[in-house]
Amino acid sequence: MSTNLLAPAQTLLEPATSPGPVRATAAPVTFLAVTTIPVGSNPVGLAFIPNGDLYVANSGSSNVQTIDTATDTVIGAAIPTGTTPAWLTVAPNGNAYVPNNISNNVTVIDTATSTVLTTIALSGGPAAAAVIPSGNVYVSRFGANSVQEISTATNTTVGAAIPTGSGPVGIAVAPNGKAYVANRNGNSVTVIDTNTATVVTTIPGFNQPNFVAIGPSGDAYVANIGSNNVSVIDTTTDTIATTIPVGTNPWGITVGPDGNAYTANRGSNNVSVIDTTTNTTIGAPIPVGSQPIALVVAPNNKVYVTNIAGASVSVIQFDPTISSITPNSGPVTGGTVVTITGTNLTGASVDIGGNPATGVTVNATGTQLTATTPPGVPGPADVTVTTPGGSTTLVGGFTYFVPVHATSLTATPALTKLFPPHVYFPFLTATLTDQVTGLPVPNQPILFKAGSNVLGIANTDAQGVARVNETLTLTLILLNGGYEVSFAGAATPTAILSPSSDTAPVIEP
């Protein structure tokens, strides 16, 4: 069997079943943004490097290019590889391992400098690479029906080749340490114990399985080119648990930080999204470029898709979603720090009640942000999150309320000469203070009484002080041994002020 990457049917990059007509253009998609990055000829594999940029292996131009994921543009010079580079991976030591299908070798790239460190000879049409728990790399050999381990410390092969089914391509490693190898021509998946480099079992029942991804639960998701679906393997029992219909000829599959799985459907020029909690597809497939073949998802949930017939990478950026806001209420004065949880929040701005929130910060995965609420009006307010991919609104997601503030009222003693009676100070005074803010409360009425007798009512000034004339009320004050003041409480635009009172004696200086 030929191991030529681009040769006709049953070789590495051509399906045994024709994908059917190729539509060069895609209809607009609602609620998400799809952009296109031109790259080299026949792009296949993608892998993120430690600085967050993305490597793309161009099988037709035999090189690797770097995409700046902040700007979604190609940067720097292309890195030469062997002939027909395919599905690459990046090891924990920061080196990229690029299987070259036709030249039968693996190019090792230092991702810090984007230079080639060495080339490792490997016969049998190397197809795809994956990191195993030891930090070494497994490489599938499409034409030799086996997997070869490579030491990332010495960049040499380790031990004998591990036999697989016919035409192995994609490899994924589950949390239990087992590697799952999709045997496209053998319609099976080989399970390898990476600790012992031995075959545990071979699972039948697939239809041209091409690639594998591990879901959040540890299950393995296998893309079947020939049956237009994804098989889910229970990695505890190594049996097929269910099958999920997707687009036509799914070649690539990956799982994003949101827990969803994404398939590159080469025959229908689109991407399907799978909810791995229910194992059902979400919405309609998303149109991308011509013959999508592989894909990866960035920490911010942007999906990058290689289009092998389009010399491009499609970038899918989804609308943000809001699942919760905590706390979901706060004072009309604003200043409440809220946490919004959802998806695709990277680059977000936040409006609450039509006013911009401040201090917006988003976590690395785009699943949570914090923001400080602006001032608002009492009642429910809509929360809107806007990103480069779109916007979403949680109707009535935050409620503004007028907070209750305790007050304190302090009366000053009546300074009076008892014999003969006369005043030393002409006014009785009381000071009203907001105990929450510590500030004086102006423009509020204070009632002054001596027993049942009203001495007067006066409004507080800018310093929170109210005054009535002591001279005119001296007799009543003396008869009652002092006086009392009270504030009945009030509602202001920013707070509900609670009632308070105080009493003051008569003293002789």
pLDDT of the residue at 365? 78
At 116, list the tokens: 């080639």
E strands, 89-228, in order = 89-90, 95-100, 105-110, 115-121, 126-131, 137-141, 146-151, 156-163, 168-173, 178-183, 188-193, 198-204, 209-214, 220-224
Q: Where are the beta strands (DSSP E) in 420-494?
A: 422-423, 427-434, 445-450, 453-459, 465-469, 482-487, 490-491
**What pLDDT, in 10s, does the model give residues 185-195?**
999 999 999 99
Residues 320 and 390: beta-carbon distance below 8 Å: yes
- Answer whether 320's CB lies under 8 Å from 342's CB: yes
CA distance 386 to 393: 9
pLDDT at 509: 64
The model's pLDDT over 341-387, given as tens digits with 9 standing for 90+, comes to 998 898 899 999 999 999 999 998 788 999 999 999 999 999 999 98
Q: For 57-100, write each residue's pLDDT tens digit.
A: 999 999 999 999 989 999 999 999 999 999 999 999 999 999 99
Q: Tell whether the model's pLDDT for residue 7 goes beyond 60.
A: no
pLDDT grade for 425, boundaries at 50, 70 and 90: low
Q: How far is CA 257 from the centre of its chain?
A: 7
pLDDT at 364: 82
Beta bridge partners of 204: 188
| H-helix segments, 201-263 | none
Q: Is 201 left (phi over 0), alpha (psi -120 to 50) or beta?
A: beta
H or E stretch covering 114: none
Strand partners, 193: 178, 198
Confidence of residue 22 (pLDDT cuts 50, 70, 90): very low
**Whose structure tokens read 């400098």?**
113
Q: Which of 361, 387, 345 is nearest to 258 (CA)?
A: 345
Q: Share the mean pLDDT of the chain.
A: 91
Nearest to 410, CA basis, from 390, 435, 391: 435
Q: Any idea what the Cα angle at residue 268 is, between residues 263 and 274, rounded to 5°?
A: 25
pLDDT, tens only, 34-44: 899 999 999 99
Query: Which domains, from first to last, does the chain contain?
Result: 39-316 (2.130.10.10), 321-401 (2.60.40.10), 404-507 (2.60.40.10)
Q: How far apart are CA 409 and CA 217, in angstroms?
A: 61
- Distance between CA atoms of residues 352 and 490, nearest Å: 27
What is the structure's pLDDT at 413? 87
pLDDT, tens digit, 9 for 90 and up, residues 454-498: 989 999 999 999 999 877 667 787 778 889 999 999 988 888 999
Q: Do residues 106 and 128 lie in contact, with contact meaning Cβ atoms separated by under 8 Å? A: no
| Residue the block writes with tokens 């007067």 | 456
**pLDDT single digits (tens) 172-211:** 999 999 999 999 999 999 999 999 999 999 999 999 999 9
Label residue 32 by pLDDT band (50, 70, 90).
Answer: low
Paired residues of 156 in beta bridges: 151
